[in-house]
A and B are shown apart, each in its own frame.
Chain A
């Protein structure tokens, strides 16, 4: 095991170096970005440091509990940083700043929608998740329901969300790296996939958590430094910053108040429902609640995570608003030097150009390296969540009915991680040059309409039965995926039809309501003997959820 790990680490370092080397010949690509050596050097430092951590973590990863939850030995503060890291993807940094850059205040509304789920997760879910769960959210969903059907379905729900999210991240990685590092798309995707496999396969949750913590610190540190450098240019005055932004932006004064994004109240409501409850149904986020020793630490981790995420979002708002003046009036950042034309590298680039404008090439290199590290860390968290669903839920519980040995389960886990890595690379290459934004709507749609209803009802509602949960979940899955396909983004923009059949991009208002309704109807009408037993079993689950009696504790090493 030790030897193969060293070999793999050497192999992936070689792959990175090869990709860097090969990039020299790859700059004839469409984007024609020069190879950015300072960015690549800084990224290599990150890779070497995290591979070192993986080696250390591999020595500590002996049992399935070590693998899935780092033995439950992560502190609340560490876990808070890791959760924040999971939630602050490269898409958040680039996407939110670019939204403020183009739409002004609407970008802030969007950020608030992305944020607001966190306090609710703490109040309604965190301690119950910790008290009831062991390794995956399916543990809770199937706590007193049918182990085969509900666990299988919950695992499928997890894997669906993980796959959609993985595609978004892999495609983002490829595009971003080609742009920032001057590496070719396919190399970037392969490098991300390989490194992720090493982290997850050998270091399990311990390595993934530490990669996430380091990256969260880098991202927060980088964002705050950039904000300070930027504010200095406006004499530390928001008044000054916004006055200049209004002068520079074609929207003028309209920049400062709500615009078209939320003009339709039903659309806005559906979006906010999906983001609010979708956050609470993301498998890689829920999994983090099992890495802390008890409910106390679980609560603390949400407190820290919420603080870091909120801080980061506020920082991105300032960066976006500052970029309006600093980037938006500088011809050097536009194709052909045309101010107001097309931004070099596309619409997601304002914050990167801002870094170059106020911090020079070194700061741009640093932020590029952080963006790459961010994608890598998020992808690893997703892969781990997917691997747990395959090995713990499907293999150990459903197929082997709990008779698999720890060693067998670990083997399956490692194969699953490698399989997911290969799948991610292939999907990343298959979706090259595709508009993948709709996949974010899909991931949050499925998370809010499949995972969330089953999870919250299994924790809070005595009357939930297997029949209700199963059919409610299926109707949530079918309707959320179906409605996204019929939405304006997919039906009109991607498939080229003249008019959308479903008028909103986010399906939650219909699909989530439907999932809850079907679950309720089929549960209350379920008069089977099994249903009676499931309702009786709620008492034991309830006392455990409230007091932590019998909850899985931290594991000794």
Chain B
């Protein structure tokens, strides 16, 4: 079967639209979950730095800035896990179905 017809079949399969739609939405949402806190953090650091000088508890010297920054790093990594989990499972399953149905 030619590459051309394969592509037309994939394009015509509603599952392909479903795959692209789901995956695009998921990628955009996760990107926002990373970028919105990150840029809010950067903005506050430069405009309202005193916020980050608040101590984590009474009598402690550690400011909330340290755990917040660590959380951005740790959270960013966790989200990569969330994405890989769904993409390597659900999304790859739909992709395989789409390819199989097109090759029929």
Chain A positions within 8 Å of B, measured between CB atoms, are 105, 108-109, 111-113, 115-116, 118-120, 122-124, 127, 238-239, 242-243, 246, 253, 256-259, 262-265, 268-269, 272, 295-296, 299-300, 302-303, 306-307, 310, 313-314, 317, 539-540, 543, 546-550
Contacts and interface: CB of A to CB of B under 8 A. Distances in A.
B7 A119 contact: no
B5 interface: no
Given A109-B45, A239-B62, A115 B84 contact: no
A108 B69 contact: yes
Contact of B76 (A243, A310, A550): A310
Given A108-B66, A238-B62, A310-B77, A262 B19 contact: no
B36 to A, nearest CB: 12
Main secondary structure, interface of B, reads helix
B2 to A, nearest CB: 12
Interface in B47-69: 47, 49-50, 52-53, 60-63, 65-66, 69
7 contacts: A112-B72, A122-B83, A256-B61, A265-B42, A268-B42, A543-B10, A549-B6
Given A123-B83, A257-B53, A549 B73 contact: no
Contacts, number: 153
Contacts of A123: 27-28, 30-31, 34, 83
Nearest to A550: B3
Given A123-B27, A299-B83, A303-B84, A310 B74 contact: yes
B49 A118 contact: no
A550 B28 CA distance: 26
Contacts of A296: 88, 92
A265 B3 CA distance: 51
Contacts of A313: 73
A105 B46 contact: no
Contacts of A238: 62
A296 B35 CA distance: 24
A124 B27 contact: yes
- Of residues B16, B65, B69, B99, which shows the largest number of chain A Cβ atoms within 10 Å of its Cβ? B69
B77 A306 contact: yes
A120 B66 CA distance: 23
A299 B11 contact: no
B25 to A, nearest CB: 11
A200 to B, nearest CB: 30
A253 B52 CA distance: 12
B61 A303 contact: no
B72 A302 contact: no
B10 A306 contact: no
- Of residues B62, B73, B87, which shows the largest number of chain A Cβ atoms within 10 Å of its Cβ? B73
B38 A112 contact: yes
B73 A115 contact: yes
Contact of B7 (A112, A259, A307, A540): A540
Nearest to A299: B84
B42 A272 contact: yes
Nearest to A257: B53
Contacts of B50: 257
B52 A257 contact: yes
